[in-house]
Structure 1
Amino acid sequence: MWRHSDLSITRAVRHRVKALDPERPPERFFEALRKADERLLALDYDGTLAPFTARREDAALYPGLAPLLAAILQQETRIAFVTGRPAEDLAARIPLKGVEIFGAHGQEHIAPSGRLTRAPLSTSSRLWLDASALRIAAAGFGHALERKYGTVAIHWRGARPDDRVQLEKLARDMAGELPADIQGLAFDGGYEFRVRGRDKGTAIADLIARHPQAIMAYLGDDMTDEDAFIALPCTGLGVLVRDKLRDTHAHLWLRPPKELHTFLRSWMTAVTS
């Protein structure tokens, strides 16, 4: 994992868009992309393509991204979205046809044809998630609760300071009582409890298995995206998209939205040259 203490941090700040791994400079990646017979662009949504909002339902793509992604899709690039949101929720937000969506951190999948499938859940997992959702609501935080397939999440972005303290304590208490088939994970603005076995890394592994020759990149912003960065093949490029640099397994860091547009335009240039 790349660490802040590395000398690269000063160069990253000075040049803004910067390779964090000298073994995978972006120039080499885009040259491989230009020559590739198959290309795959995998993308997180919240915090990556859309700025965070106090209300999750208000999150929308940065201006100008939709037509740029549509143009990339038309140039023989497969596009897949890998998100913590429910797959159908994200499908309603993306004005693109024929893309693939992994929702609920890989628990759900929408094929390019539109067919939705879900990973099986055990009875014990469902019962624990149901009970946890009731516990959060009973504590007076139903407004902070998000229930997804295979997941219960607590959100505190935009919460009052006192409420945030209580929500964080509730998350810690619940995390200390987890059954073996449930894992607790922090994300930017909250905490979630998820059935083990599927994550953003397994979603990337699924894509690699079906497209082993594709030159691919994954763009994400928070700690849940680290599984995806780790799962990338040796020819892949992990891109951290956020305002502030943090420890990461990504190979490139850029800040949205301007540098995000620059990266996607560079992709377009590579595939059309």
Structure 2
Amino acid sequence: MDFLRPDVDLEAHFARLAGGARGVLLCDYDGTLAPFREVPAEAVPHPWVPHLLEAIAAVGTRVVMVTGRAADDLAAVFPVRGLEVWASHGRERRFPDGRVSLLPPEPAAEEALNALHERLAGTLSAARCERKPGALAVHVRGLSPEHVARTEREVRRLADTPEAAPLQLLPFNGGWEFRAPGADKGLAVRTILEEEGRGRPVVAYLGDDRTDEDAFAALGPRGLKVLVSAEPRPTLADVRLDGGDEVRGFLAHWLMSVKEGRHAG
């Protein structure tokens, strides 16, 4: 574990949980709770993840998944039910009771995504060219360097065409994404903070990707920003965890602290 800012007091967050403060735990999925796989549909979570998150939710923490995946795509690989999910970079919200809300993109952006999907589908497999609400992801993990370079040239060429004008082209860990503006992971964080009001909960966000920087920015000083990455990189995070074992330790410490607070109360 690396502390990325000199003023970060990790133990103070856990001490507040042990003192009975409400907890809000937000987690990205791929690269944070699940190892990357060449085929995203094969990216199942670390074996210890379902039990730990279920246990943390059972003791009263608000546990929220915040992912770039579509909600149905996440449900296919992540076995934990009854958690709140913000999917498709904030466009889809699935409540613990199963209700779903969707923030649709503007019609022009939707048309542009459909057009680009049709053009890319002719050169990429369905697993490599993923259409989801408000976005089109191009996955290149596992491809040869030559194939990755060729795909990047085509993606950037399409990004410069008039039909792509309503969209943003953003990199992520393992590819690029054409995305309609108006939603990102920061939207999920801002909404959750608003819902929590003035109660001053202990909030932590765990994420690995550039797309999680939007969530870190939205959280700001109101919570603990945790980068999950084996390698240092520029980030707004407060702490860096080196992958699975350290994430497991962090979540176990969270659970233990909340249990202490319940016993103390």
Normalising by structure 2, report the TM-score: 0.92
- The answer to whether structure 1 residue 207 and structure 2 residue 178 are counterparts is no
Paired residue type of 1:225: D
Q: State the alpha-carbon separation in 2 of the partners of residues 120 and 140 from structure 1.
A: 26
Paired residue type of 2:238: H
Match of 2:206 in 1: 219
Q: State the alpha-carbon separation in 2 of the partners of residues 158 and 114 from structure 1.
A: 35
Q: How does 1:226-241 map to 2 (within 5 A)?
A: 226-241=213-228
Q: State the alpha-carbon separation in 2 of the partners of residues 231 and 68 from structure 1.
A: 26
2:135–2:178: 8 Å Cα contact kept in structure 1?
yes
Q: Report how far residue 44 of structure 1 moved.
A: 0.3
Change (3 A) 1:261 1:169: same
Q: State the alpha-carbon separation in 2 of the partners of residues 188 and 93 from structure 1.
A: 18
Normalising by structure 1, report the TM-score: 0.89
Change (3 A) 1:58 1:29: same
Match of 1:14 in 2: none
Paired residue type of 2:96: P
1:147-176 residue CA offsets vs partner (Å, 9 max, x unmatched): 111100111100122211111111221233
Aligned partner of 2:146 among 159, 162, 167? 162
Q: How does 1:1-273 map to 2 (within 5 A)?
A: 17-140=1-124, 142-177=126-161, 181-212=166-197, 213=199, 214-273=201-260
The DSSP-based 3-state class of the residue aligned with 2:119 is helix
Q: Report how far residue 141 of structure 1 moved.
A: 5.2
Paired residues, number: 257
1:54–1:157: 8 Å Cα contact kept in structure 2?
yes
Per mean C-alpha deviation after superposition, the further-off stretch among 247-256 and 93-102 is: 93-102
Q: Percent identity?
A: 39
Paired residue type of 1:228: A
Paired residue type of 2:186: G
Q: Report how far residue 140 of structure 1 moved.
A: 4.8
1:172-211 residue CA offsets vs partner (Å, 9 max, x unmatched): 2123336554211100110001111110011111111111
1:116-165 residue CA offsets vs partner (Å, 9 max, x unmatched): 11102222111100000011123455552011111001111001222111
**Unaligned stretches of 5+ in structure 2?**
261-265
The DSSP-based 3-state class of the residue aligned with 1:218 is strand
Q: State the alpha-carbon separation in 2 of the partners of residues 242 and 206 from structure 1.
A: 26
Q: Give the ranges of 4+ consecutive aligned residues of structure 1 lying more than 4 Å apart after TM superposition.
A: 140-143
1:29–1:235: 8 Å Cα contact kept in structure 2?
no
Change (3 A) 1:235 1:29: farther
**Unaligned stretches of 5+ in structure 1?**
1-16
Q: State the alpha-carbon separation in 2 of the partners of residues 112 and 31 from structure 1.
A: 28
Paired residue type of 2:169: G
Paired residue type of 1:211: E
Q: State the alpha-carbon separation in 2 of the partners of residues 188 and 172 from structure 1.
A: 17
Q: State the alpha-carbon separation in 2 of the partners of residues 140 and 258 from structure 1.
A: 35
